Structure 1
């Protein structure tokens, strides 16, 4: 068995998504060394696919836009969304460090000067990248990962000993010696097994939303939702959870698996098992949802679990005659007009509409009604009533309080896309404490083992707020990196 690296004090970080890169950069900034292990051919993970942005409470950007927010309010919204099943100590840390997390990303060059309102939030706080007037859109997750990797590459170029990045290298075991984690065992793309030594290990290996095998975590904890499509890459198999479990790590909230209410149905492949996420930011900028009967059925800015439940209860499958249909799945129709498109960002919308062809344009509500095969008066009435609610002339029967940008007029062009609920995020995972230490079944930290991001549980409770996933990765990634580095330094000093 080959020995890849044995240079303590070194922190081994497993996973190249946002949590892993945040941990790595924190370690380097503190003067430590990192071996970053990534199973795929490049860093990024599901973090690179994130489209709605990152939450921050009490940021400079909010202040400039006149948005009054506070960590206490973010904490309250997070606990409310999670039905108070959350680990309250972790939520407090998440909220208190949220503004610092946004600043951390701005310091590596990410432009987060636009703010969106996502479902379940009491105020706009989801920071994302302003859409350019022309050219290619810049998805928040992709840009964040690109900038972090560029900063790490710069540091590596200046000091090659700072970090070593091993891609296409899969962790297959965690190594312990006398009760302490001292490294990991890996397998490279050519099948060679190796050991990587470190004074501590940070797990940032993501969730298990794609672990559909007969003995997988989805089958064990979410058998009732296996039929749903997923927005996740095939790499989201929960390997970190499974390997840490063999060490006696405590798992919490594993049955709490989030179904995102809006994933696009591709007209070219309506039955595809992997869907492209219809960003919550679309609804945050004014998109509304109707069912196949042409009627609204819920608050478009409600919690994700609420909106999913409303679709499953009040939105029947859509026939193939309308934009290819929904392949027998309960589905909604997302509607936008020119004003909401401009607010969301035309380049980003054009990617959905022109490149992916998810949206189709209708000249007015009459044309849309004909395509849906419903009486034109139904959709016209739906839009007219929403305009009255938007103008404050009547209350929304579904309790919607915030009405972004503009209402859609029956006489103007309307853009429509079919959306369905899809498996999106696993709230459960490894139990950690406020120092990101992994906790065992006896309630004690597993010495030398830390974790951050979707591999962990406790922060989100029963339901995650949009924008809190990237926030969790940065906040607890940095904490895990800092804790792991301190453990490495302390271990090194004790040997002197």
Structure 2
């Protein structure tokens, strides 16, 4: 939200300073305008009326992670995920991809949809289709993921697809638990999530065990085993019996059995402290998070058909496919937006003004008269 707000503020400042940039709100683009094989504008609905805008089009409307209809892209390419909630806004329904396909644009990697392991469940609205995301940082500072029985079952620092896969094999509900040291390191997040009602503060591990309906000794044993593995790793990093992630050997049995043993530990506590240790805890669930697939494009962000580049149509961000392979790395989505946002913007300007900065309107004045009839 912070990033989005800052971007909107900057766009508003640009629009205030020039009559060559406008922000149109509460509008829905639904169709591309063609002049032969070139895209020369788009049609949109606003306040019940249809309007037209002319010029090159850059799609930057996100993916299809909230497209749950029976004829949706999810239903077509990943029907096995339709039952999951999503971290995507309700606007992420793949509209740009569908409009591109309607004029022959090719797509790529639409079957690759990233499921994130830590969507935050709000206890008073557990079935909400759209959920907040628990950032990786919560696990990075030492948060442990526990199953319904209060036991660890995976390497919390493993890849998103790995952690999610281990959750499928284990018993829900799952909890992300931060001890005091871990929570203090990322206290803004902990308090923010608590204020949102998706995380709960417990005065002690005893209170947490009671709320979970598990013996306190189970939480004690879980933390003690994790602590012991951390201490053994300090003394002999590769002396464990289990295969580790990303390489070497691990002392951690809970994750080692999965073939992706834990090697890095932060803010660990021994079992003797659990009973009186304060915790911040969230119930978590796998959620649809990011679509690696989208409209196929060139290195300039130009959309393409099987025959070549579509003049006047560009794409950036999650609407573009083929940038991240089959499993995007955390943090790279913003990088993608910045890089292809700049690249496609420059390409669209160059296309509009033509060689040597000589203005070239597309469509031409005579063609424009025909198109607006």
Fold-level match, TM-score > 0.5? Answer: yes
Whether contact under 8 Å (1:343, 1:405) holds in the other structure is no
1:495 Cα deviation after fit: 4.5
Asked if 2 retains the 8 angstrom alpha-carbon contact of 1:297 and 1:310, the reply is yes
- Sort the Cα spacing of 1:195 and 1:354 in 2 relative to 1 into closer, same or farther, 3 A: closer
Q: CA deviation at 1:353?
A: 1.7
Following superposition, the deviation at residue 483 of structure 1 comes to: 1.0
Match of 1:166 in 2: 24
> Using the alignment, how far apart are the partners of 2:2 and 2:84 within structure 1?
29
How big is the alpha-carbon RMSD for the aligned residues of Structure 1 and Structure 2? Answer: 2.0
Shift of the 310–483 alpha-carbon distance from structure 1 to 2, 3 Å rule, reads same
Residues 406-464 of structure 1: CA distance to partner in whole angstroms, max 9, x if unpaired? 4464242223221010111111110111111112133x111111101111111122112
Alpha-carbon distance in 2 for matches of 1:466, 1:490: 38
Structure with greater Cα Rg: 2
1:342 is matched with which residue: 184, 193, 201?
Answer: 184
Counterpart in the other structure of 2:9: 150
TM norm structure 2: 0.84
Structure 2 segments unaligned to the other structure (5+ residues): 241-250, 256-260, 362-373
Structure with larger RCO (C-alpha < 8 A, sep 6+): 1
The one of 137, 141, 145 aligned to 1:285: 141
2:72 corresponds to: 216
User: Does residue 383 of structure 1 match 2:223?
Assistant: yes
Provide the rounded CA distance (Å) in 2 between the counterparts of 1:276 and 1:156.
Answer: 31
The alpha carbon displacement at 1:248 in A equals 0.8
The counterpart of 1:463, out of the listed 327, 339, 342, is 327
CA distance in 2, matches of 1:228, 1:355: 21
- 1:362 to partner: Cα distance: 4.4
- Structure 1 unaligned runs (5+)? 1-141, 318-330
**1:363-421 CA distance string (max 9 Å, x none):** 12x44333323333322111011112233256223222222344464242223221010
**Contact 2:112–2:291 (8 Å) recurs in 1:** yes
Counterpart in the other structure of 2:315: 451
Tell me the SS of whatever aligns to 1:389: helix
For the Cα contact (< 8 Å) 1:205–1:455, is it kept in 2? yes
What is residue 264 of structure 2 aligned with on the other side? 402
Q: 1:170 to 1:309 in 2, by over 3 A?
A: same
